Amino acid sequence: MDETTREVRRDGRAIELSAREFDLLRLLMMHPNQVLARDRILDQVWGYNFFGDANNVEVYIRYLRQKLSDEPHKLIQTVRGVGYRIKA
């Protein structure tokens, strides 16, 4: 992940991410192996004034998994009832 150019690569291939997807991935990568609660993710990626629900986090996690080819969910892991973590 290159924060200055907002480019993401995995296994040598470029991955096109929306601004929100990039911000979500950056947050997860800043806290490897640490479980981040859905509410914390909403606050830090969508902002404190966001009036949606935690389902937005699930939707964007699904988008990231698809784009990162993380189908067995080994990279981005769900911690049931709590949130998500990225495996270092």
The predicted structure's pLDDT at residue 51: 67
- How far apart CA 68 and CA 71 sit, in angstroms, is 8
Q: What is the pTM of this model?
A: 0.90
The predicted structure's pLDDT at residue 35: 98
Task: State pLDDT tens for residues 27-71.
Answer: 999 999 999 999 899 999 998 777 667 688 999 999 999 999 987
The verdict on domain 8-86 having CATH code 1.10.3470.10 is no
The token duo for 4 is 């200055």
The token duo for 84 is 């998500």
- How far apart CA 41 and CA 74 sit, in angstroms, is 19
